Amino acid sequence: MRTVGLIVAVLLLQLGFILSYVGAFHAPTPQHIPLAVVSSSAQLSDQTVAKLNALTGTPLQAVTVADRATAEQQIRDGELSAALVINSQGTADALLTSSGGGVSVASAVTSVVTQVEASQNRTLTTTDLVPLQNGDGRGLTGFYLVIGWIVGGYLMAALLGVSAGARPATPRRAYFRLAAIVPYAIVSGFAGALIVDQVLGALTGHFMALWWVGALLVASAATVTLGFQVLFGVIGIGVTVLVFVILGNPSAGGAYQTTLLPPFWRKISNGLPNGAGTDAVRRIVYLGSQGVTGHLVVIAIYVIAGTLVAAGGSHLAARRRVGATA
């Protein structure tokens, strides 16, 4: 029966994988993309904002901004995804976007605004204020880097469990595994940053910041995996796959940023290390590290929670064994 139960569990994970990835990616739809409207005419700005916010499906969340300089700065800081600069004296407008803030979002907002402009017989010139680095094709390097770090973290903890028993036999062994995570995380973070920076030139100029974000991500995946193993034994590896692979990867905002994902995946994105890490890397490389602190706190919470569960669970298990033999 144990074997049958494991097979059923694997089947459920497989179906969950299909449901989560296809559910997240089969119909990307823009929702509430933050966009500024700039015009020398306050009346024209207000009218345009009202019109954009009334679009079917609410793809945009338009606000009025005083001037172009303010809009540009907010785009570079990641507060806005784009800005529409209206020419109140003619029909040639400008759209400011940010590929570094998300290629799929930049494409989506360009498509929506272009259609609106065409319906009013206006023309549009697009300027990418935060272009991608030359080696960062489609802006996916950070996403794959984060996935690599997280996969390495949970595989390291899972393999320790396979080689020495899913549940640590004693609290001492649990502490040994927790201690082993620290150097592994530091080396993994360093190696990942080295590969994307010095080796491949995909994301350059932020080596130290990426190194320590990577170390934190690896530690989060490894400690949480260990915590699940202490709680559930070998089934804990499956729970880890559920959290980090089935839920975490499609909601991370890699191929499609969160404003294009369905509500469920959009809501859980920043609450998981995958999404927090992907956006943190994007903001470090392209957006002047604005808004990174909250993501780092989320990842650190997973490290602390995983550590406490692994340590506390091992002590509780030891006490149960002592009580059973008394």
d(CA 15, CA 3) in angstroms, rounded, equals 19
DSSP one-letter string for 62-95: EEE-S-HHHHHHHHHTTS-SEEEE--TTSSEEEE
Radius of gyration of the chain (CA): 23
Enter the pTM of the model.
0.94
Please state, in angstroms and rounded to a whole number, the distance separating the CA atoms of residues 173 and 167: 9
Measured distance CA(114)–CA(130) in Å, rounded: 20
pLDDT score, position 170 = 80
Write down the pLDDT at residue 323: 64
% of residues, the chain, pLDDT over 70? 97
Q: Which residues of the chain have pLDDT under 70?
A: 163-166, 169, 322-326
Per-residue pLDDT of 48-71, as tens digits, reads: 999 999 999 999 999 999 999 999
Do 298 and 166 form a contact (C-beta atoms < 8 A)? no
pLDDT value for 318: 79
Residues in Cβ contact with 15 at an 8 Å cutoff, skipping those fewer than 6 apart: none
Looking at residue 6, its pLDDT comes to 80
Domain ranges of the chain: 2-25+135-325, 33-128
pLDDT digits (tens, 9 = 90+) for 104-161: 999 999 999 999 999 999 999 999 999 999 999 899 999 999 999 999 999 999 988 7
For the beta carbon of residue 276, count every other beta carbon within 10 angstroms: 30
β-bridge partners, 108: none
